[in-house]
Amino acid sequence: MIHMNEALIVEGRYDKSKLSALTDAIIVTTNGFGIYKDAEKRDFIRKLAKERGIVILTDSDNAGRQIRAYITSFVPSNQIRHAYIPDIYGKEKRKAAPSKEGKLGVEGISSEILLEILKESGASVEGSTTDFQPLTPADLMSLGLTGGVNSATLRQGVLKALDLPENLTTKMLLRWVTSEEKKAQLLAAVEKIKNGA
């Protein structure tokens, strides 16, 4: 079990149940899209973000992206860390059929992967550091990930190499790079793809 100072924001109770076995963090569920109509929960998330910061860990499907975007609309970006699960296709054990997009959600991801994702989120996980120089949109452009003829192809290759959702925007990619380790992973993936390895 890892210790986190930040509160963890997830979509549902099964996500919360899975993560409760991995971290002692405060875990708040959005109840899916229920957050849109729950002013009290939004206020609570704002309060937690201001006091300790939050880590958003939603599914990598459309619903998860919408919920993540909604939370970022009412919480200042300097109080948010983003954790992303990779695109892994399959079906959760408790469900009869795969999700609409066929991807596993937070509850279906292995504990080992979830722990790694939390550690890489830039959150103050015991033993980790959070001081680093973040990447900028200009950095992504100079790396060839935006603004170039083959930028989309390169970006897709990098996302796949980093086990990130295939439709992650460049803005969200910048938010993912929350540590020197993640920055090094991104730079290595770009270099490897550019060199044809």
Domain boundary among 94, 120, 146: 120
pLDDT at 3 over 60: yes
Is there a single domain that holds both residue 14 and residue 93? Answer: yes
Residue 132 placed within a domain:
no
Where residue 65 sits, what CATH number does that domain have? 3.40.1360.10
Among 120, 147, 178, the domain boundary falls at 120
Q: Which pLDDT band, with edges at 50, 70 and 90, does 197 fall under? A: low
For 138-157, write each residue's pLDDT tens digit: 889 999 999 988 999 999 99
Kindly state whether residue 131 falls inside one of the protein's structural domains.
no
Of 78, 18, 33, 84, which is closest to residue 57 (Cα–Cα)? 84
Domain closes at, from 90, 120, 150: 120
Cα dihedral value 104, 1, 12, 182, nearest 10: -60
